[in-house]
Amino acid sequence: MTTLPSQSVAGCIQPPVPPQGQTVWLYSDGACDTTKGHGGWATILRYGDRELELSGHESGTTNNRMELMGLIAGLRALKRPCTVLVVTDSQYLRKAFTDRWILNWQQNGWKTASKEPVKNQDLWEELIELARKHALHFVWVRGHSGHAYNERVDKLAVQERLKLRK
């Protein structure tokens, strides 16, 4: 039995009935050359003794969009509701759920506390729909600190970003 980390999104965005399926580890990351807007994202799904790597790239993007795309791609790949342990080095991504930023943004008409439009609203809305199918729990790791799977998704995201170099 897997012990769940304390950074759950309980009370934020949860499926109406907790999933009874398996537990999946989802490692995701994004990378972006901010001067050129070349970005890459990557995710690794681990369940049982199986792994699935996914990655992609976009031009005209930002690092935060790529962080979101890594998680979105991983959740899109899940065919059944399950408990998902999301391992990320992005405080932006984690805190949007654990600190209830998403709920506040929705209640404020997709405006921040400073009344500015929320960036990446399109991706947040898709992520909310995907998150409603699963029980998400967030595990934050410091980037570039030697965590094997975080290093792997970082490397994959950077490789994707580099595909856009001209």
CA nearest 102: which of 128, 63, 76, 126?
Answer: 128
CA nearest 150: which of 30, 57, 6, 8?
Answer: 30
Give the DSSP letter of residue 62. -
How much is the average pLDDT of 28-48? 94
- Cα(90)–Cα(142) distance, integer angstroms: 8
How much is the average pLDDT of 8-37? 76
pTM of the model: 0.88
Domain borders along the chain are: 23-162
Active site (catalytic) residues: 29-30, 67, 89, 144, 154
Domain spanning 23-162, CATH class: alpha beta
Q: What is the pLDDT of residues 100-159, one digit of tens each?
A: 899 999 999 999 989 999 999 999 999 999 998 998 999 998 888 888 999 999 999 999
Q: Is the pLDDT of residue 91 over 70?
A: yes
pLDDT band at 17 (very low <50, low <70, confident <90, very high): low
> Alpha-carbon dihedral of residues 112, 113, 115, 117, nearest 10 degrees?
-10
pLDDT band at 15 (very low <50, low <70, confident <90, very high): low
For residue 122, say whether it is annotated as part of any ligand binding site: no
For residue 58, say whether it is annotated as part of any ligand binding site: no
Listed in sequence order, the residues at least 6 apart from 64 whose beta carbon sits closer than 8 Å to its beta carbon are: 30, 90, 92, 119, 120
Q: Is the pLDDT of residue 78 over 80?
A: yes
How much is the average pLDDT of 38-43? 97
For residue 29, say whether it is annotated as part of any ligand binding site: yes
